[in-house]
């Protein structure tokens, strides 16, 4: 079985919904054609090797998917950075474009306030001259002067509030910019942390897979060695048993020959001696046995 190869240009098609079905079917077809043989060490090793190649194919596909996801994240990050740069640039440009109008509006407001103050002061002064000898008029002038002072103070207050409003807007803008930068930094750190955790998870899985495969290979090797050792021991025991049978057979044959020789020499011819020996071996003659 050959390892799976995935071209980078086909990643978007492969990692679409059910896009890996063809690869899985191809692997399953190759595996289904294998006939497992547990009777030999080589057959068992071939089974373990085939399973290991299937898991290697899984690792190839998973790593390709992880790289594809990393490319997508990198592209999204580039878009987000460019969006923020455009927002910042155009906000600054809008401020620069409107700044003359803003400054003019502020200056115009201040000029109108000062003009009103001047007119109030002039009217108060004219009325004070015209009615200098009249107490009531003096009171009125004092009231007008107080009003003029109030207007001046009101103008100063508005000017101060306008300045505070500008400073507040600048502070809020700075805080918003800092918050956006902080959020972007936190998001970047979160993505980096997720990517690091994903890499560590895959490394752990690969390490566990290697350890499991090594353990399976060690167990298979030990089982094969044990089976081979048991076979050798069984063959050796059978050989020794055959040797004992052969020795026994040779011994019996020698004893039978010695008996035949004695019978033929002493009493009988060879045919009768043979029949007598057979009867002795069969236990047909009472009180007589052969001690081999």
Count other C-beta atoms under 10 Å from residue 72's C-beta.
Answer: 13
Same domain, 232 and 252: no
Helices (H), the chain: 11-14, 21-32, 41-130, 135-266, 270-282
Tell me the average pLDDT across 3-24.
72
Percent with pLDDT over 70 in the chain: 88
In this model, does residue 2 exceed pLDDT 60? Answer: no
Q: Is residue 2 part of a domain?
A: no
Instruction: Supply the pTM of this predicted model.
Output: 0.32
Tell me the average pLDDT across 11-22.
78
What does the pLDDT look like over 105-151, one tens digit per residue?
Answer: 888 888 888 888 888 787 777 766 666 666 666 676 677 778 778 88
Same domain, 177 and 233: yes
Same domain, 167 and 264: no
How many Å apart are CA 286 and CA 62, to the nearest integer?
Answer: 88
Same domain, 255 and 128: no
Q: Is residue 277 part of a domain?
A: yes
Same domain, 213 and 97: yes
What does the pLDDT look like over 239-255, one tens digit per residue?
Answer: 888 888 889 888 888 88
Given this model, what pLDDT does residue 130 score? Answer: 64
pLDDT tier, 269 (very low <50, low <70, confident <90, very high otherwise): confident
What does the pLDDT look like over 158-204, one tens digit per residue?
Answer: 888 888 888 888 888 888 888 888 888 888 898 889 989 988 988 89
Q: Is residue 288 part of a domain?
A: no
Say which residues have a Cβ less than 8 Å from residue 48's Cβ, sequence separation at least 6.
Answer: 213, 216, 217, 220
Given this model, what pLDDT does residue 132 score? Answer: 61
Given this model, what pLDDT does residue 105 score? Answer: 84
Q: Is residue 287 part of a domain?
A: no
Same domain, 99 and 130: yes
Same domain, 201 and 84: yes
Same domain, 275 and 132: no
What does the pLDDT look like over 65-78, one tens digit per residue?
Answer: 888 888 888 888 88
Same domain, 230 and 101: yes
Name which residue leads in pLDDT, 92 or 144.
Answer: 92
Q: What is the mean pLDDT of the chain?
A: 81
Q: Is residue 259 part of a domain?
A: yes
Same domain, 127 and 181: yes
Given this model, what pLDDT does residue 151 score? Answer: 80
Same domain, 167 and 206: yes
CB-CB contact of 19 with 13 (8 Å): yes
Question: Which residue range is the domain that position 204 belongs to?
Answer: 8-237
Query: Which of 237, 254, 274 is the last residue in one of the domains?
Result: 237
Two structure tokens written together for 180: 């956006």
How many Å apart are CA 221 and CA 213, to the nearest integer?
Answer: 12
Percent with pLDDT over 90 in the chain: 1
Q: Is residue 66 part of a domain?
A: yes
Q: Is residue 15 part of a domain?
A: yes
Same domain, 92 and 146: yes
Number of domains comprising the chain? 2
How many Å apart are CA 252 and CA 239, to the nearest integer?
Answer: 20
In this model, does residue 20 exceed pLDDT 70? Answer: yes
pLDDT tier, 17 (very low <50, low <70, confident <90, very high otherwise): confident
pLDDT tier, 5 (very low <50, low <70, confident <90, very high otherwise): low
């Amino acid at each position: 079985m050959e390892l799976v190869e995935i071209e980078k240009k086909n990643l978007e098609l492969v990692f679409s919904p059910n896009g890996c079905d063809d690869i899985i079917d191809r692997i399953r077809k190759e595996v289904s054609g294998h006939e497992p043989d547990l009777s030999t060490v080589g057959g068992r090793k071939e089974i373990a090797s085939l399973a290991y190649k299937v898991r290697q194919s899984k690792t190839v596909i998973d790593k390709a998917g992880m790289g594809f996801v990393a490319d997508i994240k990198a592209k999204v990050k580039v878009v987000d950075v460019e969006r923020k740069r455009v927002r910042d640039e155009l906000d600054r440009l809008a401020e620069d474009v409107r700044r003359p109008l803003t400054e003019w509006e502020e200056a115009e407001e201040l000029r109108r306030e000062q003009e009103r103050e001047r007119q109030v002061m002039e009217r108060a002064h004219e009325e004070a001259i015209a009615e200098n000898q009249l107490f009531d008029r003096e009171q009125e002038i004092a009231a007008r002067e107080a009003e003029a002072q109030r207007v001046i103070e009101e103008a100063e207050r508005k000017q101060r509030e306008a300045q505070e409003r500008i400073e507040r807007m600048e502070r809020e803008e700075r805080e918003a910019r800092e918050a956006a930068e902080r959020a972007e930094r936190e998001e970047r750190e979160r993505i980096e942390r997720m990517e690091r955790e994903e890499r560590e998870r895959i490394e752990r899985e690969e390490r566990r897979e290697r350890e499991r495969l090594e353990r399976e290979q060690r167990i298979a090797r030990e089982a094969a060695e044990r089976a081979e050792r048991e076979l050798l021991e069984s063959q050796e025991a059978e050989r020794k048993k055959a040797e004992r049978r052969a020795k026994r057979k040779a011994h019996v044959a020698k004893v039978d020959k010695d008996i035949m020789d004695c019978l033929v020499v002493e009493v009988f011819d060879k045919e009768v001696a043979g029949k007598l020996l057979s009867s002795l071996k069969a236990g047909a003659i009472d009180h007589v046995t052969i001690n081999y």
